């Protein structure tokens, strides 16, 4: 098992990619905190995974709210006694063309996707430094690497995630903490299901593998970066996108 007895906090783990990661990490022996603001799905998934014999616990959190994040970290320490891995996976979209994007939708996306990642990382890092080891994995996107029509706010936020990843790699490497990012391509979750069908088809046609990613494709990349197999991978942005726009 690749993560035996490691404690992982996965934000946005009640659905989609985060949920696939929670399952994958559990299969590899991790104890997982499902951290999400969707209380209904979170509680249901905790029940389902526990029935399978996995050690998981749902904690409701709004990553954009610092007090809520501080409570998440405190409860995790109380429950599992340590934190080894943080996956900053929670994220949202509010798509619109530049000329139609409201200031509220611009700042809401930045608040969740940038401040949320900052909040969780800043709150977890003192524990990782004390232990002298830890893994932080941030979720960027192909939109943050290449830009995307209708995603001024989201592309800005996911480019910011890359900037924070590289900065934290430089700050935290000497403390024994690995920091990397995954930049998924278009992946089969509720986030993509909201897109107009013709645009989903257009996106598939520019992917070399000619299909959307599946949540487990991304979860496997998180697993690699969370495991000891990637101990010399640092400050890296791993694109998992089926070969989009190479």
Q: Catalytic amino acids?
A: 154
Among residues 77 and 237, whose Cβ is nearest to ligand NAI?
237
The verdict on 186 binding ligand CAA (CB under 6 A) reads yes
| Stretch of 57-65, 96-104, 122-130, 225-233 contacting ligand NAI, by CB under 6 A | 57-65
134 binding partner (options ligand CAA, ligand NAI, none; Cβ < 5 to 8 Å by kind): none
CA distances from 39 to 60, 62, 75, 127, 218 (A): 6, 11, 16, 26, 23
**Residue 102 CA, distance from chain mean position:** 25
Diameter of the chain measured on Cα atoms: 50
Query: Would strands 237-240 and 177-184 be described as parallel, antiparallel, or unpaired?
Result: parallel
Return the residue of 71, 192, 212, 237 that touches ligand CAA, per CB under 6 A: 192
Return the residue of 89, 115, 148, 151 that touches ligand NAI, per CB under 6 A: 89
The verdict on 106 binding ligand CAA (CB under 6 A) reads no
The angle formed by the CA atoms of residues 195, 199 and 204, to the nearest 5 degrees, is 110
The verdict on 153 binding ligand NAI (CB under 6 A) reads no
What is the C-alpha separation between 87 and 72, in angstroms, rounded? 14
Backbone phi, then psi, for 62, in 5-degree steps? -110, 110
Q: Terminal CA-to-CA distance of the chain, rounded, Å?
A: 34
The verdict on 230 binding ligand NAI (CB under 6 A) reads no
What is the C-alpha separation between 20 and 25, in angstroms, rounded? 9
The verdict on 97 binding ligand CAA (CB under 6 A) reads yes
Return the residue of 16, 134, 150, 242 that touches ligand NAI, per CB under 6 A: 16
Backbone phi, then psi, for 132, in 5-degree steps? 80, 10
Return the residue of 26, 76, 119, 139 that touches ligand NAI, per CB under 6 A: 139
Among residues 33 and 169, whose Cβ is nearest to ligand NAI?
33
Using an 8 Å Cβ cutoff, are 10 and 87 in contact? Answer: yes
The verdict on 114 binding ligand NAI (CB under 6 A) reads no
Query: Would strands 177-184 and 134-139 be described as parallel, antiparallel, or unpaired?
Result: parallel
| Stretch 92-111 residues interacting with ligand NAI (CB under 6 A) | 92
What is the C-alpha separation between 122 and 112, in angstroms, rounded? 15
95 binding partner (options ligand NAI, ligand CAA, none; Cβ < 5 to 8 Å by kind): ligand CAA
4 binding partner (options ligand NAI, ligand CAA, none; Cβ < 5 to 8 Å by kind): none
Residues forming contacts to ligand CAA in the complex (CB under 6 A) are: 93, 95-97, 100, 141-143, 148-151, 154, 186, 191-192, 195-196, 199
Residues forming contacts to ligand NAI in the complex (CB under 6 A) are: 11-12, 14-18, 36-38, 61-64, 89-92, 112, 116, 139, 141, 184, 186-187, 189-192
């Amino acid at each position: 098992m690749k993560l035996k007895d490691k404690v992982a906090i996965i934000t946005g783990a009640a659905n989609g990619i985060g949920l696939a990661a929670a399952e994958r990490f559990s299969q590899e022996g991790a104890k997982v905190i499902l951290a999400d603001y969707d209380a209904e799905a979170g509680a249901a998934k905790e029940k389902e995974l526990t029935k399978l014999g996995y050690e998981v616990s749902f904690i409701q959190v709004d990553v954009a709210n610092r007090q809520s994040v501080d409570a998440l970290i405190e409860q995790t320490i109380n429950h599992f006694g340590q934190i080894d891995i943080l996956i900053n996976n929670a994220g949202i979209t509010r798509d619109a063309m530049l000329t139609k994007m409201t200031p509220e939708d611009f700042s809401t996306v930045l608040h969740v996707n940038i401040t949320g990642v900052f909040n969780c990382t800043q709150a977890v890092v003192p524990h990782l430094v004390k232990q002298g080891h830890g893994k932080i994995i941030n979720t960027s996107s192909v939109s943050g690497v290449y830009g995307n029509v209708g995603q001024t706010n989201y592309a800005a936020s996911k480019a910011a995630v890359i900037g924070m990843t590289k900065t934290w790699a430089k700050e935290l490497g000497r403390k024994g903490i690995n920091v990397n990012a995954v930049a998924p391509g278009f992946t089969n979750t509720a986030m993509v299901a909201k897109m107009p069908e013709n645009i989903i088809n257009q996106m598939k046609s520019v992917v070399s593998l000619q299909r959307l990613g599946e949540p487990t494709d991304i979860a496997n990349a998180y697993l690699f970066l969370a495991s000891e197999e990637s101990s010399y991978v640092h400050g890296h942005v791993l694109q998992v996108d089926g070969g989009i726009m190479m």
